[in-house]
Structure 1
Amino acid sequence: MPAADLPTGPDEAEAILEMRSRASARFISPGTVMSHTSALVLHGLPAQDLDTRRVTTTRHRPGSGSRRGESAICHSLDLGDAVTELDGIPVTTPARTIVDVARTSPFTGAVCAADQALRHSLCTRAELAAELDAAAGRVGIARARAVVAFADPGAHSVLESLSRVAITRAGLPMPRLQHEFVLPDGSRTFVDMYWKEWGLVGEADGSGKYGIDDGEAGVRRKLRDEKNRQNEIEALGNIFRRWQWEDYRRGRIVPLIREAMRLQESLGRGPRRGA
């Protein structure tokens, strides 16, 4: 079930799963650990577009298979050395968790988790590669390899990760992430996405970006600073396009980018014009 269709928001659904996973951890038998989406939320990683309805565990047992109930899933797999502890709870390591989730869940949600795991240095690409090798032959391994190959620590929010997937599925060129600009006063700033040939900046404005808890004056100040930053970047010959969660839900991100690219091409920017 997509997160947008859940009766609670993704953050609340993740919090409920974490609470239920912590409670269930008190009753798991030796050799069983929290895994998959349960491990994901215990590691503080997003479970966007993933099934958060059931607590998931893995019992260390060579082979494969699982027992599924309405509120829990228990897999039987070889855990190897991919086990750690969080607050006394045995869980799969971040790298193993990402690979397990990527094998068994939709591509988009797995990318969101993998991006954040790399961004926060919870695991390395080498560790992910090792877990992929260990999972060779298991169901979903091809999808897991695709998720790991696509993952990028430059995506600083779930909305940026979702946007990247939408962009690549639409066949649009992938932007540079966290591109640095040097402003006229010598200061430096980074933007979420940048298509250099088009001079196009894309920014995914997730909720809370401007500090909604800072009070009205603080929000106004941040909005003013952000507008000044945008003006300075545009003065370098670029254009901005911004989108929010509602744009993602309504499928408006790709049309927004396409329109901006066509506009820039009409003004002489873009690879076709430069050929």
Structure 2
Amino acid sequence: MPFRLRVRAVLLARPGAVACGVTAGRLLGFEGLPRLADDEPVHLRLPVYGSRRQMEGTVSHFGSVAVGDLVELDGIPVTGPDRTLADLVLAGSREDAVAMIDAALRRRLVTGLDRVIAACVKRPGARRVASYWALADGRAESVLETHLRLLLHDAGVPPPCIQWPVTDGTGRVLARLDLAWPGAMLDVEADGGAVHELPSALHRDRERQNQLLDLGWRVRRVTWADVLRTPTKVVATVTGWLAAGP
């Protein structure tokens, strides 16, 4: 059964329920969520004093939701973007949470973080995530880019510039660098794979890299495999290049 249809069916069986958490995130178009599985349960927020019966194929969360934190999508009641982001941040790892914050800011699903932070106050996990907000940056263009930025931040070599524009002699922008150290002429690119492996993208990436090399930039391309399997090697490479200077 298609995901949205499955959510509708569940809500019809539980009057007063609201789609929340990862279910709300999918309906609202949040990025950085796990791949949707066929048997993924529907997450529901239910009134505290209602039935505690657990329905098969659902995960129940009990508690009230303010009227201002609710939206309706094609007749489906859903926690709004601010509340949904707060729920997901409280439930996720730091890397996944910051990636979702970055994406929500970039896509303007939320207009700022004040309401999101307020939705976390006095809830379990609020202290744990208190440091996440300052790490967020809506300029990040992919989940991998966020994970890579955090890896380098933790290693003490945070990139000073994100999406740094490089221009030619006429002022035309040749490229926007994912993570850049302009003083060291170092560009670290997050290559997520799906897009960069397309033939047209491969040609564009090579042409762009050649232009950067001609201008004296050093370019390091980092994949998911690099970040997940050999993070120390990624850090050592960036640290070594920075130490060597431009």
How much has 1:76 moved relative to structure 2? 1.9
Alpha carbons 2:69, 2:79 under 8 Å: kept: yes
Matched, 1:240 2:219: yes
Matched, 1:231 2:202: no
SS of equivalent to 1:145: coil
Q: Cα–Cα, structure 1 residues 129 and 71, in superposed 2: closer, same or farther, change >3 Å?
A: same
- Letter in structure 2 aligned against 1:129: D
- Secondary structure in structure 2 of the residue aligned to 1:204: strand
Farther off after superposition, 187-196 or 164-173: 164-173
Distance of 1:73 and 1:60 partners within structure 2: 14
After the TM superposition, which of the residue ranges 228-237 and 111-120 deviates more from structure 2? 228-237
- Which amino acid counterpart does residue 118 of structure 1 have in structure 2? L
Structure 2: how far apart are the matches of 1:67 and 1:242? 50
CA–CA distance in structure 2, aligned partners of residues 16 and 167 of structure 1: 39
Match of 1:215 in 2: none
State TM-score, norm by structure 2.
Answer: 0.83
Q: Quick one: which of 23, 29, 34 aligns to 1:38?
A: 23
Post-superposition shift, 1:134? 4.0
| 1:1-275 equivalence runs, <5 A | 20-30=6-16, 32-48=17-33, 53-61=40-48, 71-80=57-66, 81-125=68-112, 128-184=113-169, 186-188=171-173, 189-210=175-196, 212=198, 219=199, 221-252=200-231, 254-266=232-244, 268-269=245-246
| Matched residues, number | 240
Aligned-partner Cα distance in 2 for 1:264–1:147: 26
| Residues 7-55 of structure 1 deviation map (CA, whole Å, 9 limit, x = unaligned) | xxxxxxxx9866643542333312x211111111111213445997432
Task: Supply the distance in 1 between the matched residues of 2:214 and 2:32 (Cα, whole angstroms).
Answer: 39
Contact 2:85 2:116 in 1 (8 A): no
Check conservation: 1:40, 1:47, Cα contact below 8 A. Answer: no
Partner SS state of residue 193, structure 1:
strand
Q: Distance in 1 between matches of 2:21 and 2:6?
A: 14
CA contact (8 A) 1:60 1:78 kept: yes
| Distance in 2 separating the partners of 1:204 and 1:107 | 19
TM-score, normalised on structure 1?
Answer: 0.75
Conservation of the 8 A alpha-carbon contact between 2:32 and 2:143: no
Q: CA deviation at 1:228?
A: 2.4
Using the TM superposition, name which of 166-175 and 186-195 deviates more.
Answer: 166-175
Counterpart CA distance in 2 for 1:109 and 1:18 is 24
Root-mean-square deviation (CA, aligned residues, Å) is: 2.9
- Partner SS, residue 166 of structure 1: helix
Question: Deviation at 1:182?
Answer: 0.6
How far apart, CA to CA, are the structure 2 residues paired with 1:163 and 1:49? 18
Between the aligned partners of 1:177 and 1:196, the Cα distance in structure 2 is 11
Q: Which amino acid aligns with 2:147?
A: L
Cα 1:161–1:27, aligned 2, differ >3 Å: closer, same or farther? farther
Q: Which range is displaced more, 175-184 or 139-148?
A: 139-148
Query: Equivalent residue of 2:189, what SS?
Result: strand
